[in-house]
Structure 1
Amino acid sequence: MALVSRPRAPLWLGRLSRRLCAQLRACAGTMARPRRFTVELPDCSLTHFILGDPADHPDARLTALLGPPGRSYALCVPLVPGRGCGPRVQAARRHQRLLQQLRQGPLQRCQLSKLLGYGPSDQAGAIQHGFLLRDPSDHPDTRRALLQLMASCQEAVQPQLAEFQADSQGLLWQRLWELRGEGEVQVDCACVLQAPEPHLHPLLPDLLNSVVFQDRDAARAVLEEPGQCLPWLTNAQRRSRKASSRSLPLKDWMPLSPPPCISQWRKIFDDEPTIIRRAFYSLGNYLVASEIAKESAKSPVIVDRYWHSTAAYAIATEVSGGLSFLPPAHHPVYQWPGDLLKPDLVLLLTVNPEERARRLLGRGLEKTKEEAELEANNVFRQKVEMTYQRMENPSCHLVDASASRERVLQTVLQLIQRAGH
């Protein structure tokens, strides 16, 4: 809650022949440049590996994770070089289509995990999104289905298919395949080695302007990419200007984020790739700001959710792993956008999980996707709360809302008075 009072080719994972092992070692030096990868495990920990030379002491844990008795594959969506946010939007769409295909047919038997490919530098835009597939039964139809998926790709840039194999000496290898003509061709192979954990989550350089937007223009640019349709935005802005001319008392004027003028498109954008969905919610905050700007000059305005909520859920959702992998305190991603109307006071009402479940049940309404996730996933709930607490300029004032309404109201009024309102 925010208070504003003034404007602001088929291969099996068994043992390989000595001759094939020698061939694998011989091709290990063909890597154009090293790539690092990270995978989120079921316990919310992250494991990192790198493609390199087998002399660099392989780790048996990786062989256990990716090697036999099952078989593991990696599918990555290459990021085509280009200017602006266009390449990110296109890659996000390819990634989403790929996810939908992986959840169909024989590929449903695979255990699916997020896979991030990243380089040694911390440059934004260097992240390669993909999937790690683990087939515990090593079924021959799995690899066949993956090759068919690549063949059916109508885009100029195909996803990259990698296959993990263990040799007779326990070394784990990744073989990279491409479709050329009527068959698949191995274009690279390298030894899979344990990589040291990076100082910060590899996704952090990409958070700004792909998950959390620094300003309105950055969010709008995503939705103005070729292929996007923006008549809804024009209509929403017109309605926003019309709504801002109203004069309503505080108890009747409590705008929501996203505002009603674009809420009819919420379900559509919830099905869009992450960067498009986050841009939609980000622009919703600016529309809310235009609605409250005029009213806040006359009397205080309370907003139910605002930028803090948009950013907190985006960060907690997109940054894989547990609490320790969130952006550190004072990271730029926690800073309020400079061009967005800033609240004078932000209150974060909290209750324990049991009380929240009881109140939701008492509403008699269907749970939202976010509410269901908060209830089912304790780690996700903790990440959301920690992200809220790290917000700055302005920060969130925590209010224990488990007490009676009257007591909570008194606490809130005291905080408002201390803030000088």
Structure 2
Amino acid sequence: MEPPRRLALELPGCALAHFAVGGPDPGLRPEPRAAALLGPGGRGYLLCAGRAPGGGCAARVRAARGLQRLLLGLRGGPLRGCRLRPLLCYGPGGADPVQRGFLLLDPGHGPGTRRALCALLGEAPGGPRLGELVGDARRQVWQRLWEPRGGEGWRQVGPCARVVSVPEPALHPVLPDLPSSAVFPHRRAARAVLEACVPFIPEAQAVLDLVDQCPEQVQKGKFPVIVIEGLDATGKTTVTQSVSDSLKAALLKSPPACISQWRKIFDDEPTIIRRAFYSLGNYIVASEIAKESIKSPVIVDRYWHSTATYAIATEVTGGLQHLPPAHHSIYHWPRDLLKPDLVLLLTVSPEERMRRIQGRGMERTREETELEANSIFRQKVEMSYQRMENPGCLVVDASPSREEVLQMVLSIIQNNCN
């Protein structure tokens, strides 16, 4: 008998709790962590995106967009008073694709909540099932499973199943999924995602056309290539421009100008699409680096490390302790992407960064807005930066004056590059 799939739920405080539906003898003592699923409300609903058949790229994209539509529906109408927590559904062996979803908590025990959820999910045969969680007097949690009847409403399927706590896996369950959904190891993987998007995002074809104009393998010229990374408001723009002027170097930026006009479109899409867009932007930049580094040094404002760190911090739920460990392959540079000679990571204190942000008023991406509101997310981005390998990041304190930071950066470049 196949073991039940498991659930990883992000609790308040960024802790992760792991559960399974259908477990030991109901006569056993209840497990306290299982009761943490529902909190004081005592009722909740499990909603997961459908599994992508065969793990194909087009199926993954459809599942991701379907989950995004579900999230919009959950945040409005009669369900807006409910609380949502991120949820992952995974196989115990880690081989099956991870399903993403939500636990919806109904603090008011409203009789219309399940009806509203069923209406939102629809009644198409073979559509998503709805797991209704209820607690009993012994603090045990049970799931009632509901499924659509093909235009005839919804019905309960089978008996109630007990929800039990399970051991936390050694690595976060989303890690095996990241190379095909967020941190793409090569150009071909990211390209396949945007190919699947062409029917509903016309700009995806324009991006693909630009990528196809770039050779698949490019070589760096004789001049050094220096990438400058950092969170928003750490001084990247100022430093990259100043260093470029001082070294008479070409200044490039990722994503490149030729696709930046479509950032807003892709930023509004699910992670798999958004990250594929930024990943392919890096390959366009690599082609520009190859041309410019023949003639002069090259300074690059963000590159692959930004793409990877934000994806890791977004997709790996929970706190810092749940990030991939140091030296994990997810931190390795893509094998077909031109490498820089040096990567500098500018850092400032959280207080100084907030002070700088308040004086800017610039439009920011979803992740940059999250950096301000969520200190755990910011710490996960910073930790991921510091764990990058081959090449790693050399950390630079960007708190001093502009002139001091510039001199420090120039000295590091002189000591590390010809």
Taking structure 2 as the reference length, what is the TM-score of the superposition?
0.85
Letter in 2 for 1:166: G
Letter in 2 for 1:353: P
> In 2, Cα distance between the equivalents of 1:272 and 1:284?
16
SS class of match (2:132): strand
- Tell me the C-alpha RMSD between the 2 structures: 2.3
What residue is the counterpart of 1:140 in the other structure? 111
The one of 178, 200, 217 equivalent to 1:207 is: 178
Question: Does 2:91 align with 1:119?
Answer: yes
Is 1:78–1:160's contact at 8 Å kept on the other side of the alignment?
no
Q: Which has the higher contact order (CA 8 A, sep 6+)?
A: 1
Question: Does 2:152 align with 1:160?
Answer: no
Taking structure 1 as the reference length, what is the TM-score of the superposition?
0.85
Letter in 1 for 2:148: L
Gaps of 5+ in 1: 1-30, 242-247
> In 2, Cα distance between the equivalents of 1:284 and 1:397?
23
What residue is the counterpart of 1:109 in the other structure? 81
Letter in 2 for 1:186: Q
> In 1, Cα distance between the equivalents of 2:310 and 2:149?
42
Distance 1:362 1:285, change over 3 A: same
**CA shift for structure 1 position 236:** 3.1
> In 1, Cα distance between the equivalents of 2:264 and 2:213?
20
Is 2:251–2:300's contact at 8 Å kept on the other side of the alignment?
yes
The one of 260, 267, 272 equivalent to 2:257 is: 260
> In 2, Cα distance between the equivalents of 1:71 and 1:32?
28
CA distances 1:171-204 after superposition (whole Å, capped 9, x unpaired): 3111111011413222243111111111111111
Is 2:123–2:148's contact at 8 Å kept on the other side of the alignment?
no
The one of 272, 276, 297 equivalent to 1:275 is: 272
What residue is the counterpart of 2:371 in the other structure? 374
**CA shift for structure 1 position 235:** 4.9
What residue is the counterpart of 1:35 in the other structure? 5
> In 1, Cα distance between the equivalents of 2:209 and 2:134?
55
Distance 1:82 1:369, change over 3 A: closer
Counterparts of residues 307-322 of structure 1 (less than 5 Å): 307-322=304-319
> In 2, Cα distance between the equivalents of 1:195 and 1:83?
26
Question: Does 2:58 align with 1:89?
Answer: no
CA distances 1:40-73 after superposition (whole Å, capped 9, x unpaired): 1121111111121325543134225426644211
Distance 1:195 1:83, change over 3 A: closer
> In 1, Cα distance between the equivalents of 2:359 and 2:302?
21
Question: Does 2:32 align with 1:73?
Answer: no
Quote the sequence identity (%).
62
CA distances 1:90-138 after superposition (whole Å, capped 9, x unpaired): 2111111111111111111110011111111121x42111110001111
Gaps of 5+ in 2: 216-243
Letter in 2 for 1:133: L
Which range is displaced more, 226-235 or 394-403?
226-235
CA distances 1:341-371 after superposition (whole Å, capped 9, x unpaired): 1000000011112222222334453454433
> In 2, Cα distance between the equivalents of 1:71 and 1:297?
64
Distance 1:187 1:152, change over 3 A: closer
What residue is the counterpart of 1:180 in the other structure? 149
Aligned pairs, how many?
382
What residue is the counterpart of 1:233 in the other structure? 207
Is 1:110–1:134's contact at 8 Å kept on the other side of the alignment?
yes
**CA shift for structure 1 position 240:** 7.1
What residue is the counterpart of 2:344 in the other structure? 347
